[in-house]
Chain A
């Protein structure tokens, strides 16, 4: 472990989280995420998956414990440094969280615009990404005009458009048909092969088998278990894609 300590991109140590004065929804959570790995976070509904992901994408501070991200203490991180860290993530929210009055195109373009990418430079990547998720024809539609599956694909396209260092997805295949689920998973794998660390929260056990080299973390009533040794050992290096292009 010592040899890999400097490579860790996320480290949780005895992290606990409670909302208000309720009981802890996460207790004594300790794990390490290594760059370029593919993790599944599983657990029954209410096990704390979404809460753990919120801590991961810095939408929530823990009640106790220590969190380090990219070598920095994320708990004492000043507010003005949070945006820089958040731009290194891509997040697929369980409820999609698309901006209601923006078109599919503008929703997908949002991370690039926030990062200051010029308008002339974002049209093509956004169009390519929408084409990839099969929404070229719907790029001008607003979220309310899209089906649940289409909204989910827009949310995924928005999460990966800026090639994040870490992709965090909360039930990303929950509203799509099996064929699209596999397609999306292949996209995540392609990103992973390019070096993106992927964390996918899902309760779909069939999905876990689709990515053979993935590591599994299991949450049960707010406590983490480690069926694949993901939390004990650094993962084996995964083969990297030679081309920067995303391929199906």
Chain B
């Protein structure tokens, strides 16, 4: 015997007009799988959105100045001059020299612990600055011109420019997730439509009798709507649970990476609420599809 998600009998005198199991069958399972996939896709989309938004907020006004000079004394002097000049520039809200320790930590994974310093490779000095109103090409040009006077070895870049390809990829993934959610919604509606058509066909005699006894289209549609709504409700809860387990497990795995960009994609409470609404939206979509399918089919009957 197949394992049923709806082992107990549907209640209600209308629902009894449809034979038990005719509509249910695998439908709750299909809906559960659809909802689980939708939850995972939506969670991914929300995480990508959060990553993009948080990174964009962080980097929007960020400017990095590198002083690339092999002579350590010149490099340090120019770095100090850059910090001083930036702090005196209107629109710059913060300008800090990245300490040598931090620079060493940044390059350590690639070049090893003793790569920099007096005996090692000359590493550029870094100045991290933040602009009040974001960074445009014009702002960047002005800064370059101004800093060139005090630090000829300075290279000025907007932080957002470095991550532009990453943002592009994140944006693509976000749209892909959205498209997946849409496609899963369409697939859910199609599955319901097929199930209802099948049920209409196999219950045609009963429907004709109910019609001839004075039953209205709305009454008959309500029977199917309730049955599908019930199946969708059960399937939706199971699907949500499955989807959330997967999302939590993936979240833990990504969190373990410890990368700033990844952790910035963490879901907020409003995102969890949105995910919890997916089965509700699924139930409404399934019921509306069932109603429309039944009403359209009944209109062809006298």
Interface residues of A (CB under 8 A from B): 57-61, 79-80, 82-87, 91, 97, 99-102, 106, 110-111, 113-115, 119, 158
**Least Cβ distance of A163 to chain B in Å?**
13
Chain B residues numbered 1-38 whose CB sits less than 8 Å from any CB in chain A = 13-14, 16-17, 19-20
Residues of B within 8 A of A99 (CB): 17, 205-206, 209
The reply to whether the CB of B302 lies closer than 8 angstroms to some CB of chain A is yes
B28-52 interface bits toward A, Cβ cutoff 8 Å, 1 = contact, 0 = none:
0000000000000000000000000
The reply to whether the CB of B256 lies closer than 8 angstroms to some CB of chain A is no
Choose from A85, A97, A114 the contact partner of B219 (Cβ within 8 Å).
Answer: A114
In the assembled complex, the Cα of A185 lies from the Cα of B17 at a distance in Å of: 30
Residues of B within 8 A of A87 (CB): 213-214
The reply to whether the CB of B212 lies closer than 8 angstroms to some CB of chain A is yes
Residues of A within 8 A of B216 (CB): 80, 83
**Least Cβ distance of A27 to chain B in Å?**
21
A58-B16 contact in complex given A114-B210, A114-B215, C-beta closer than 8 Å = no
Choose from A60, A83, A101 the contact partner of B215 (Cβ within 8 Å).
Answer: A83
Residues of B within 8 A of A113 (CB): 13-14
Identify the closest chain B residue to A107 (Cβ).
B209
**Least Cβ distance of A246 to chain B in Å?**
20
Are the C-beta atoms of B212 and A57 separated by less than 8 Å?
yes
Residues of B within 8 A of A101 (CB): 19-20
Are the C-beta atoms of B209 and A61 separated by less than 8 Å?
no
Identify the closest chain A residue to B301 (Cβ).
A79
**Least Cβ distance of A160 to chain B in Å?**
12
Identify the closest chain A residue to B13 (Cβ).
A113
A-B contacts, 6 listed (Cβ < 8 Å): A61-B302, A79-B302, A80-B216, A110-B210, A114-B214, A158-B213
Given A79-B302, A101-B19, A110-B213, 9 more contacts at CB 8 Å? A57-B212, A60-B302, A87-B213, A100-B205, A102-B16, A110-B209, A111-B213, A113-B14, A114-B213
In the assembled complex, the Cα of A223 lies from the Cα of B209 at a distance in Å of: 28
Residues of A within 8 A of B209 (CB): 97, 99, 110
Residues of B within 8 A of A59 (CB): 212, 302
Residues of A within 8 A of B213 (CB): 86-87, 91, 110-111, 114, 158
